[in-house]
Amino acid sequence: MTTLGLSAHDLLTTTRSVRKRLDFDRPVDNDLIRECLEYAVQAPTGSNRQGWQFLVVTDEEKKAGLADLYRRGWDLYTSMAGSVGDTSESAPDEKAAQQLRVLGSASYLAENMHRVPAMLIPCLPGRIDGSAMGATSSLASIIPSTWSFMLAARERGLGTCWTTIHLMFEEEASELLGIPYESVSQVALITIGHTIGTDFKPASREGGASAVTSWNTWD
C-alpha cells in the first residue's frame, strides 16, 4: 500500500477526528486495516501485558445495529448539560463558533454512522467500571495502541474518529457483536474510511501547550 510519506511532525499534527470528510462510498480493504493493526500491537503496554483485543466490524447489518445504538446515545448526549451544544452557548463568540462546527460535524457522523465503511472496537479483558486506578491502568495500554492504529491509518489515507457514545448501550452492543459482556469491556468505537482529500491541517489550540502546563507546582 502506498503511504502519504508524512513526516513525524506532519503525522502528529494533522491526524484529526474525521467525520464530514469520510468517503462513505469507497470500501476499505481488510488487508489495509490488518496492516494498521500491526502498528497497534507494537504500542507500549502496562506491565508488558498485552491484554488488548480488537474487533473489526464490516458487516452491514452489524454496522447498522451499532449505528442505531449510537444515534440513540447521541440524542441523549446532546440533551445533557456540558455537551458540545450546551457549552457553545456560554462560550466566547469565536469558541462558540468552533464548538458549533464540532457539533455539526458530530451530528453528521451520527446521522451517517451506518454508512461508515468499517468500525474498530478496542476491548479489554474484565470490566473496567471499578476504581480510578484500575481503570486508568487498563486504559494506559489500550489507548496508546489505538492511537498508533489511528496514526497508521492517517499515513495510509484513512480517516478515523474515536467515539464512545455507543457505550451508553454497551451491553446491547456486546450482544449484537457476540462479545461476552461480563468478562470483556468495550473501550470505544473507531470509525474508519478513506478520506476525501488528504490535506488536513494542525488544529487551533488556544494558548498552546504552555496554557495548560505547570512545572513542579500546580498553577
- Sequential DSSP letters for 105-124: HHHHHHHHGGG-SEEEEEEE
CA distance 190 to 74: 15
Nearest to 100 by CA among 83, 85, 79, 82: 85
Task: Identify the burial level of 21 via C-beta atoms within 10 angstroms of its C-beta, where 0-12 means exposed, 13-18 middle and 19 or more buried.
Answer: middle
pLDDT at 91: 53
* Spatial separation of the C-alpha atoms in residues 82 and 123, rounded to whole Å: 27
Three-state DSSP string of the chain: CCCCCCCHHHHHHHCCECCCCECCCCCCCHHHHHHHHHHHCCCCCHHHCCCCEEEEECCHHHHHHHHHHHHHHHHHHCCCCCCHHHHHHHCCHHHHHHHHHHHHHHHHHHHHHHHCCEEEEEEEECCCCCCHHHHHHHHHHHHHHHHHHHHHHHHCCEEEEEECHHHHHHHHHHHHHCCCCCCEEECCEEEEEEECCCCCCCCCCCCCHHHHCCCCCCC
pLDDT in tens, 148-174: 999 999 999 999 999 999 999 999 999
Rg (CA), the chain: 18
> What is the amino acid identity at position 39?
Y
pLDDT digits (tens, 9 = 90+) for 10-24: 999 999 999 999 999
Listed in sequence order, the residues at least 6 apart from 11 whose beta carbon sits closer than 8 Å to its beta carbon are 151, 154, 155
The domains of the chain are located at 11-60+115-198
pLDDT digits (tens, 9 = 90+) for 163-208: 999 999 999 999 999 999 999 999 999 999 999 999 999 988 888 9
11-60+115-198 to CATH, choices 3.30.200.20, 3.20.20.80, 3.40.109.10, 1.20.120.1760: 3.40.109.10
Q: Of 51, 53, 52, 18, which Cα lies nearest the Cα of 151?
A: 18
Reported pTM:
0.89
Give the whole-angstrom CA distance, residue 53 versus residue 173.
Answer: 16
pLDDT tens string 114-144: 999 999 999 999 988 655 555 777 788 899 9
